Every structure is written in C-alpha cells, then in structure tokens.
Amino acid sequence: MEIAENVRANLFVSVHINSAVNISATGVEVLVCSAGGKASQCASLVLQQLVSSTGWINRGVKIQNVLVLQETSMPAILTESGFLSNYSDSSKLKDAAFIQALAVSHAKGICSYFGIPYTVKGVTNVLDTVVLLNTKEDYWAGADVAIKNDNCLISLRNPDGSIQEDVMSARKLIIVGGKTVNHPNEVLLSGKTKYDTAAAVAKHLG
C-alpha cells in the first residue's frame, strides 16, 4: 500500500467480486472507510451505474475499514460486483459483453464524480437514444417507442445477433423484443411472447 499512499491521485478504485457462504446472496455494493465525504459521493454514483447496467440488487454503500481503503491518502472506494458463490452471477461474469458493461459502468460513475462527460474512444458522435428491434416484426411497436423518445434512431439487430458499434455506444438503448445486450443504460421491453412484448411497450408508452 506504500504506492497508493505516495501517488498523487485524485481517486483510488479497487474492483472486486464478492463471495458468501449463502449461495443465494447476490447484488452489487460499494465499500468506503467512512460515511460522508468525497469517497461516499463517488461510491453512490458508481453504485447507481452498476445497478442500472446489471439489474442486480442494490446492496448499498457500506462502511468497512478494509486495508486497501484504510491505507490510501486520497478518496477510495472498493466495488463488489456480483457473487462468485452465486451460480447465476458467476455465469454472467463469464460473459465478455457483461464484463465490458461492468467496466463501462465504473467509468461512467467515475466520470460523473469528476463532472466530466463519458465518451467512447474513436466515436465522435455518440447517439443519445436508440431503439433496437429484435426483428422487422417489432417495428410496429418500436416506431411508437421512438416517437415517445424524441423520434430517436431505430436500429435492427444484425442477422447473426450482433449489434452495431454506434448503437452499443449510445447513451441509452431501448430494446424492443429479444434479450438483453448488457448495455450499461438499457431499457428492456421484451417478453416470452409477442403479447408480453406488446404489454411491456404499452407500459413504457404510459
């Protein structure tokens, strides 16, 4: 920890995965040494992004005087994303796209803490909101969703199921039909049947 004490950094972030005797334990949490202050502010912002991107239970910001936080001279947080002891969590943590979403969530929370915009390297025009359709048959619902969201762009999944890079880099992704793509700011309007999807869309449209 001598390095962390001497480096002139504005923030220290330690990224971890949790574990517990209770195999049903799940969720995300962020640890700090003490309540209040800059560390707690950052912890709340990062936690908000992690919950949004994973859909996991919010276990809150917790005070734990662990060594990795105690021995730093700058604001410091420790994130716990999911539980290796939980089969569902550990399965998701093996997925590269999910890991990427976790990384982006950390970055977005940190950017928010410093009051700077999150940008994607190599992407100059980041789309604000995109409606992603699973198939062409979902257009009837997707068009209404796009209108509600300021006539935003509508995109269609590629035949192989992949998603275009500019769509994945959008600030908000609304999925109509189909499964999650683990976008860090995703709204999933889908169900097991087209009727379930229609119900989800209707609820979104209000």
Q: Indicate which CATH number applies to the domain containing 39.
A: 3.40.630.40
Six-digit token string for 44: 């709340």
**DSSP code, position 56:** -
CA count, 13 A, side-chain hemisphere, 180? 16
Helical H segments across the chain, by residue range: 2-6, 37-54, 67-70, 87-92, 96-114, 139-148, 165-168, 194-205
Is residue 136 located within the same domain as residue 189? Answer: yes
In a domain, 40, yes or no: yes
- 80: annotated active-site residue: yes
Main-chain phi, psi angles of 143, to 5 degrees: -65, -40
**CB under 8 Å to 58, separation ≥6 — which residues?**
27, 28, 29, 47, 51
Q: Any alpha helices (H) in 7-138, and if so which ranges?
A: 37-54, 67-70, 87-92, 96-114
Residue 36 included in any domain: yes
**Residue 47: which residues within 8 A CB-CB, separation 6 or more?**
28, 29, 30, 58, 60, 61, 79, 109
Query: Confidence class of residue 3 from pLDDT cuts 50, 70 and 90?
Result: very low
Distances (CA, A) of 135 to 25, 192, 195: 36, 14, 15
Question: Which of the two residues, 5 and 174, has the higher pLDDT score?
Answer: 174
Q: Are residues 105 and 134 in the same domain?
A: no
In a domain, 122, yes or no: no
Residue 76 and residue 164 in one domain: no
CA proximity to 200, closest of 182, 166, 169, 177: 177
**Number of domains making up the chain:** 2
- Mean of per-residue pLDDT scores for the chain: 88
pLDDT score for 140: 83
Residues 84 and 143 in one domain: no
What confidence tens digit (pLDDT) does each residue in 107-154 have? 989 998 998 877 766 655 678 899 999 988 888 888 899 888 888 888
Say which of 5, 29, 71, 80 is annotated catalytic.
Answer: 80
pLDDT over 60 at 6, yes or no: no
More confident residue, 156 or 3: 156
- Distance of alpha carbon 193 from alpha carbon 154, whole angstroms: 21
Q: What is the CA 29 to chain-centroid distance, rounded?
A: 13
Task: Let me know if residue 33 belongs to a domain.
Answer: yes
Q: Which of 114, 138, 163 is the last residue of a domain?
A: 114
Q: In a 10 Å sphere around its CB, with 0-12 CB exposed, 13-18 middle and 19+ buried, how is residue 59 labelled?
A: middle
* pLDDT value, residue 1: 42
Residue of 46, 53, 61, 51 whose CA lies nearest to 27: 51
- Structure confidence by residue, pLDDT tens digits, 55-87: 899 999 999 988 889 888 899 999 999 999 999
Residue of 18, 13, 65, 63 whose CA lies nearest to 40: 63
Please indicate, yes or no, whether residues 100 and 138 belong to a single structural domain of this protein.
no
**Which domain covers residue 48, as residue numbers?**
2-114
What's the pLDDT band for 95 if we cut at 50, 70, 90? confident
